[in-house]
Structures are given as structure tokens and as C-alpha cells.
Structure 1
Amino acid sequence: MPIDQGPVRKRLRIVVADDSVLLREGLIRLLEEDGHEVLAGVGDGPRLVDAIRTHRPDISVADIRMPPTHTDEGLRAAITARREMPGTPVLVLSQYVEVLYAAELLDDGSGAVGYLLKDRVTDVADFLDTLHLVAGGGVVLDPQVVAQLLARRSGDPLDALTVRERELLGLMAEGRSNTDIARRLVLSSSAVEKHIGNVFAKLGLPPDDARHRRVLAVLAYLQNVPR
């Protein structure tokens, strides 16, 4: 029976990549129970690229570390697939916070990427929300990655942000909508919009500039990723 997620959402066509059969099959079952179609389940980078090339899924979910070296094969496969098929949505999962990997995923500037710690999958509702956000072209980073990004930057325009603006920036980087941000920070929608405008202005990223789309623009700035 599908997991209760409230309003009906799009049924996604998904490719899953993880070298652990137990984890891969568990993820496949979770996704299928939520009503999605898993097109392929693979255990290494080359087969992930082949599966994406063959099926053109709505989104792929991949472990970063897969055979043969168990370092970054999943990430490399995701990047390869996105180079061949620009904008291909990919959500990568990692056991640890590795900020460099998040930067590499953002490098092409096309959005539709997510980076989550594997522990987040246990929060099923949040994981499924992230899945739909990324499939829809959004950018979502794990809150722990966002925290490290903000902590590492100093001596730049980020210092001009107030505590509230930094908090809002972190929520934006997690892919939160204005409505969600307003609820979490106990603010009105108009107040959130004003704060967002202030953040973009202080970072030199005008909100009306199409090249600087919300989260992607802010993350690109924080990471010094070319855009």
C-alpha cells in the first residue's frame, strides 16, 4: 500500500544505484510502496550511466561510493550522465559529509541535484519530499552540508548577513519553499520575501536575474562554483 504523503504527486520513474543489495532492495521497496516505478537497480557506476542512458528516468538515486574503489564512483557516474544528458535529475546519498562532492554536483549550474546523508532516508516523508523537489529541477543539500558551507566562509559578503538571514539562507539551501520557511521561522510570507530580497542583494545576486535562480545561485556563490 502506498505510503500516505497527503496530496497526490507525480508518479516518478526511477533508477536506483547502490552496491549493497540489502540497501538497494530496501530503497526500491520503499519507492515502489510510494507508488513509483523503479526502472532499474544497479550496483556500480558504469551500469548506472547505462541505465540512465537507456531509461531516461525522472530521477536517479545513487550511492556515492561504489565498486571498484568505493570512493566516488557513484558521483562520477552521475556527473557523466549529466554531461551526456544535461539536467538529468540525480539524488546522491553519502555516509559522510563531503562538501567537495556537493560542489562538483553543482558545477554545471543546471539544477536538479540533491545530496543527502544516508541517515536522512530513515525520515521517509522528508526523503520523498526531497525526491520530488530534485525531480522537479530543485537543488537540495543535506542540512549538515549547508552548516559546513556557512561555517567555512569568512571575510566576504556573507558576513554582512544577519543571524536571521543566515538561518533563512540555510533553509533555502535545503530546498525549502517560502511557505515552509515562513512556518519554520514563524514569519509572514511577506517578511520571508523581504528577507530573501535582502540576502540576494547582500550577496550581489539580484532576485530578478535569471542566471541566479534561488538556491542554485546562493549555493554557487557559497561554494565558488563557476556559473
Structure 2
Amino acid sequence: MILGIPAQEEIAHQPCGEPALLTIPDTDVPNERSDAARNRRALLEAAARLITEHGPAALTMDELARHAGVGKGTVYRRFGSRSGLMLALLDHSERRLQAAMISGPPPLGPGADPVDRLVAFGRAKLELIPVQGDVLMAVGPIFAEGAYAAMLDHAVMLLGQSGTPGDLLLTAQLLLAGLDAHLVLHQIREQNIPLERIADNWETVARRLTQQYTPNATADQMTARTPRFPGEHEP
């Protein structure tokens, strides 16, 4: 498991009644042999670990080859350039997240309370920002449009399942705005806000938008498990 998202082998590939979310462009190599595809995924997992542990600047073709224990030529043959590697990593991490949402274990996958699933989704997206953020800003809407539409559909579905009233589309868009890579990287780098604090506050907002409509949860239970906004006092 990397960044809180189950690895591919942890995800059960079986129907679960969820809408298909994989609408982003496919950067996989056509007609790739199964062993080649497996090796490619292993390189991308190693690249994700490098970024998680050392930041985006640490991900170079040479460093990935060293970290993965392969020749530099192997990395160049797979991805062509650092830009190609970053785009492949972006696609890979997004697909893993979406697969976990569709058929992974709860709370991110099916089987959990819809509000808990919504919170798990938000936290998983935020944990991907160190991997995806700079690349998303570089590639712009060409990549992001399909992925955003899939995330929006998922959020709307969970809000509907939780019984949240009002305009579900606008509520989902409000929540997704807090997961925007530009905003989150600004908060982390310019405002020195820790990612954990951003995630905790996003969960607070999400739960407060839905808490009185969450099944099987009393007001006292929600108050006990929901962090308060900074500076807010107990009544």
C-alpha cells in the first residue's frame, strides 16, 4: 500500500454495483506483454515512493534506475523522458485510486458508510498531491478534465447515498475545490500548512455538510469524532 491506496493485487476485481470511473486518457503501452506491464508498474511504484520520501525534485531517470535496481536504459526505453515518466506516474496513481474506489476494501471502497467513504476519498486525493501536484499543474486541463469528472461523479454518488439534501452537484464541486492541486500546494509551500491539517479540516467540512443526515450516527457521536475548526470553542 502506497499513499493509503491499496496496491493492485489488494484490489478485488469483481462487480460491485458501482459506476465505472476510469474516464481518463490511457497512457498504457498498447499490446504490452504481461511481464513487461508488471515491470512497468514496478517502476512506477518505485517512482511514487521516491516522490513520497524525497519530493518531486528527487525523481530523475538516473535516480529511478538506481532506486529500482535496473539500468538507466531500461527506464528511458519505458518512458522516453522525465516528462513521459511523470505523465505515466500521474495516470498510474489516478487509476489505482479509482480502482480502489470501485472495488477496493472499505472505507475507500464499497461496504462502508457513504460519509466515511467520502472522507477516505478526500484524504486519499490529498495524499496524492505530493505525487500529482506539480505534474497536474504542468499538464493542465488536458489530463485533468476526465479525472475530475470521475471524481465529481463519485462524490455526487456518495452525497446522494448519505441523504445529503440540496444541490448535490454544487456540494460535490465545493468539496472538490478543497482538493485542487494548485490550492493544496500553495497551502503547503507558501502558507506552511501541514498536509495532515489540510486533510483534517477537509474531513471536518465534509462531515459537517452531511453529519445530520449520516445514517446510524447521533449528534453526540458526530461531535465526538469530528475535529473542530481552529479557534472554535466548545459550546
TM-score of the superposition, structure 2-length normalised? 0.29
Structure with higher RCO (Cα < 8 A, 6+ apart)? 2
Per residue, is there more strand in 1 or in 2? 1
Per residue, is there more helix in 1 or in 2? 2
TM-score of the superposition, structure 1-length normalised? 0.30
